[in-house]
Amino acid sequence: MQNYIYLIIHILFALGMFISLKLINIKGVNIYKAITLNYFIAALFTLVDLYIYYPQWSYSSKMVLPGIIVALLFTVSFILISYSTIKVGIGLTTALNKMSVLIPVSVGIIYLGQSHALALKLVGIVISLISIFLILYKKSQKRSKGVFILPFLVFISAGMIDTSMELANTYVISETYEKEVFLFTVFSFSVIFSLIAFGINTLFYRKNRIIEGVKKRNVQNSKLATLRMLVYGSMLGIFNFLTSKMILVNVGNLGGSVVYPIHNASVVVFTTIIGLLFFKESFTKRQWVGVILAVVGVSFIASTL
């Protein structure tokens, strides 16, 4: 029962991240500034969490290299998603981002020995992947040379992030408090890499900044624009911290071959429904079929717990 509760909490926090990102796009907030602030807030909350619950914690140098790798993957993945969204559309980009679950699942089953109830897992994973594609993929008029290169890179980078998190949880983290230490390392270096990305973007692409396909709104009051960035960036950071913490907890308890498919399929379903109910997004029959398949797929995977 505890595992189910942790998974539900995990999904709720992930939905909080989605809503935060949605509001950032709707309000025309500079996404580079918001993402950088998000990592700073996440690092700050992780540090506070450490001092409150583990006052005797200590830092280990073994966290540095894996933390840098995951932080760099976070930043690179964000940039790839931004470019891919503009070049080929948000549907294909998001679908490939979520379907990247194949990478950590394969590593978990083949390399980490997560073969319990393998047949049910595989059936559930296949159904979940089909559901994700049905829900997210939309034909786009945005096409460019080498159309599938960017989405493919999104697929690889997102899969590498999840895989790196699980490998770090397996081979780097040995004490309970080290989950927070690892996250603090990741978020801290993510701030640095995000600042570098923001600087490069400002220097070379001042006239055509990437805002994930959303047109910038002319905000006359710069103070209001700053306030929005602080509010929504901080909100994203808090949910980022909570979601990342629950990922490490759940992966440690259940393994990535269970956690990532349930996480991705559930988040896709609920974010789509939230978009329908609160953001007036359209919903097709194909997407409803995808929702039903997602429920079936998650049910198969959850039955292996």
Q: Which one has a higher pLDDT value, 204 or 165?
A: 165
Rounded to 10 deg, the angle between the 222-254 and 256-278 helix axes is 150
Q: Give me the amino acid identity at 160.
A: M
% of the chain surpassing 70 pLDDT: 87
Check residue 186 and give its pLDDT: 95
Q: Mention every residue, 6+ apart, whose C-beta is less than 8 A from residue 139.
A: 89, 91
pTM: 0.82
Residues 277, 234, 24, 280, Cα dihedral to 10° = 10
Q: Does residue 256 carry a pLDDT above 60?
A: yes
Rounded to 10 deg, the angle between the 149-171 and 102-110 helix axes is 40
Give 30-74 pLDDT, tens digit per residue: 888 889 999 999 999 999 999 999 988 989 899 999 999 999 999
Name the average pLDDT for the chain. 82
Q: Which one has a higher pLDDT value, 232 or 210?
A: 232
Report d(CA 131, CA 265) in Å as an integer. 8
Q: Which one has a higher pLDDT value, 147 or 118?
A: 118
Check residue 265 and give its pLDDT: 82
Q: Which one has a higher pLDDT value, 229 or 137?
A: 229
Check residue 187 and give its pLDDT: 95
Q: What is the mean pLDDT of residues 120-127?
A: 84
Q: Mention every residue, 6+ apart, whose C-beta is less than 8 A from residue 253.
A: 3, 6
Helices (H), 89-176: 90-99, 102-110, 118-136, 149-171
Give 153-167 pLDDT, tens digit per residue: 888 998 899 899 889
Report d(CA 298, CA 304) in Å as an integer. 10
Among the listed residues 192, 190, 184, 156, the one whose alpha carbon sits nearest the alpha carbon of residue 168: 184
Q: Does residue 219 carry a pLDDT above 60?
A: no
- The alpha carbon dihedral of 170, 171, 173, 174 has a sign of positive
H/E segment holding residue 255: none
Angle at 252 between CA 250 and CA 253, to 5 degrees: 65
Number of C-beta neighbours around residue 118 at 10 A:
12
Q: What is the mean pLDDT of residues 235-241?
A: 93
- How is residue 192 written in tokens? 């640095």
Most confident of 91-105, 227-241, 268-282: 227-241
The residue written with tokens 């697929």 in the block is 155
Q: What is the mean pLDDT of residues 244-270?
A: 84
- Domain extent listing, the chain: 2-302
- The alpha carbon dihedral of 216, 218, 219, 222 has a sign of positive
- How is residue 258 written in tokens? 């269970």
Give 169-186 pLDDT, tens digit per residue: 889 998 889 999 999 999
96 touches 151 (CB < 8 A): yes
Check residue 264 and give its pLDDT: 80
Least confident of 61-70, 227-236, 287-296: 287-296
- The alpha carbon dihedral of 279, 285, 289, 292 has a sign of positive
